[in-house]
Amino acid sequence: MGVLNELGEDRGMSAHATRICSDDRLTRVIRTYEQLSPATLSSLDALFAPDARFIDPFNDVTGHAAIRRIFEHMYATVQQPRFDVLEGAVQGCSGFLLWDLHFRSPGASGKANRIHGMSRLVFNEQGQVTLHHDHWDPARQLYEDVPVLGAVMRMIRKKLSASGG
């Protein structure tokens, strides 16, 4: 059985991810992210060390309050954000997660979106995350959908591509 969502439904993905690596630290991270909601943001404090650093394409912050603000901002700016962890592994004090963030665009369109990414994690001796470094491509996964900017981004990607397309 996987992690249950707020409706009590089995989300399934955690069972798959934890079979890949049965490390308790990684299982705790997966459960926290897959169950995350505005009401559970305080659970991040137990997951992260007090001086933890969180890096993604838009942020580079340190500490519980700053990390929580990133997720508060996410819930304030997109609709129905939800993480699904696809894979995970740990070796020593380092780990990684392969994940999808599903959300709906704000406004009337409510377009469904998915960001596919990977997070590098570093754990301290207490099993808390001291570094969470997200890797994903905002140019391809976000900017290319923006009118005018998207056309420019696609043109640049085409020019830099080895196949020219």
With a CB cutoff of 8 Å and minimum separation 6, the contacts of 103 are 78, 79, 80, 81, 82, 112, 113, 115
Q: Are 134 and 61 in contact (CB under 8 A)?
A: no
Q: Using the 8-state DSSP alphabet, how is residue 39 labeled? A: G
Confidence of residue 115 (pLDDT cuts 50, 70, 90): confident
- Mean pLDDT, residues 7-26: 56
Q: Please, is 144 exposed, middle or buried when counting C-beta atoms within 10 Å of its C-beta (0-12, 13-18, 19+)? A: middle
Query: Collapsing DSSP states into helix, strand and coil, what is residue 138?
Result: helix
- Whole-number pLDDT of residue 106: 77
- Mean pLDDT, residues 44-51: 97
pLDDT for 74 beyond 60: yes
**% of the chain surpassing 90 pLDDT:** 58
3 CB neighbour count, 10 Å cutoff? 21
Element (H, E) at 155: helix 149-160
Q: Does residue 70 or residue 8 have the better pLDDT? A: 70
- Where b means 16+ CB within 10 Å and e means fewer, 24-53 reads ebbbbbbbbbbbbeeeebeebeebbbeebb
- Whole-number pLDDT of residue 154: 66
pLDDT for 118 beyond 80: yes
